[in-house]
């Protein structure tokens, strides 16, 4: 419901569309169809236009995501420091595979560079960032998420 409250803080001009979508993402985990319809009215756009925007960006989600998302950076700097071994360790520990949705609780993805290349390999679990991760750290990092 909170979307009305967000709209109060933003004028209905085009430059505010992306910030509003990001705000919605902050309070809800994903952007619902009803939200898009309401936004379309507010910004005087078609729902299609808004959906094409919301589905374009990495940070925005248009579907519910009940899983814990683990991201391992696949940039060259992180790869050089052994990101592939870290990824392999995560795959072994959780019995999942990158890009495969089958696991009910976890999802392993790659991510775009965070600009932390001097502290690699970088692993992100939901919104939390871990730096200089070794394969031996994987157990510790994930233990709080495995119940």
Partner 1 sequence: MKLITKNWGEIDPLNIKAYQNKSGYLALKKVLREMSPTDVIEEIKKSGLQGRGGAGCPVFLKWEAATAEKLQDKYYIVNLDESEPGTFKDRAIVDNNPHLIVEGMTIGAYAIGAKKGIIYINGHYVKQAEILRLVLEQAAEKEFIGKSIMGSAFDFEITVFSGAGAYICGEETALINSLEGKRGEPRLRPPYPAKEGLFGKPTVINNAETVANIPFIINRGAKCFNNIGSQKSPGTKLFCITGSVKNPGVHEAPLGTTPQELIFNSVYGGGLREGKDFLFAQIGGSSGRLINRSKLDYPLVFGDQDLPIGSGAIFVADTLCDIKEHLLSWAGFFHRESCGKCVPCREGTYRLWEIAKRLKNKDLRPRDSENIEDILWVLERSTFCPLGKFAATAWRDALAMFKDKIFK
Closer residue to partner 1, CB minimum distance, 1 or 44: 44
| Residues found near partner 1 in the complex (CB under 8 A) | 14-19, 21-22, 43, 45, 49, 52-53, 56-60, 74-77, 79-80, 84, 110, 112-118, 120
Q: Give the residue among 71, 21, 87 at the shortest CA–CA distance from 50.
A: 21
Work out how close the CB of 46 gets to partner 1 at its nearest, in angstroms, rounded to a whole number: 12
Q: Which residue has the tokens 């009305």?
A: 4
Work out how close the CB of 143 gets to partner 1 at its nearest, in angstroms, rounded to a whole number: 26
User: What are the C-alpha distances in Å from 35 to residues 30, 96, 111, 140, 147?
Assistant: 10, 33, 27, 38, 33
Work out how close the CB of 2 gets to partner 1 at its nearest, in angstroms, rounded to a whole number: 19
Closer residue to partner 1, CB minimum distance, 16 or 145: 16
- Ranges assigned E (strand) in 14-133: 68-73, 106-111, 123-125, 128-130
Closer residue to partner 1, CB minimum distance, 14 or 147: 14
From CA 48, how far away is CA 16, in angstroms rounded? 17
């Amino acid at each position: 419901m909170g979307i009305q409250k967000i709209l109060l803080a933003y004028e209905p001009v085009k430059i505010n569309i992306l910030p509003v979508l990001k705000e919605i993402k902050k309070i809800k985990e994903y952007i619902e169809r009803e939200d898009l319809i309401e936004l379309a009215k507010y910004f005087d756009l078609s729902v299609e236009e808004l959906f094409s925007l919301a589905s374009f960006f990495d940070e925005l989600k248009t579907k519910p995501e009940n899983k814990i998302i683990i991201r391992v950076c696949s940039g060259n700097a992180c790869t050089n420091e052994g990101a592939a071994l870290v990824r392999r360790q995560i795959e072994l520990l959780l019995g999942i595979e990158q890009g495969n949705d089958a696991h009910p609780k976890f999802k392993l993805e790659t991510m775009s560079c965070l600009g932390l290349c001097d502290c690699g390999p970088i692993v992100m679990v939901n919104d939390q960032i871990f730096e200089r991760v070794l394969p031996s750290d994987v157990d510790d990092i994930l233990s709080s998420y495995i119940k």
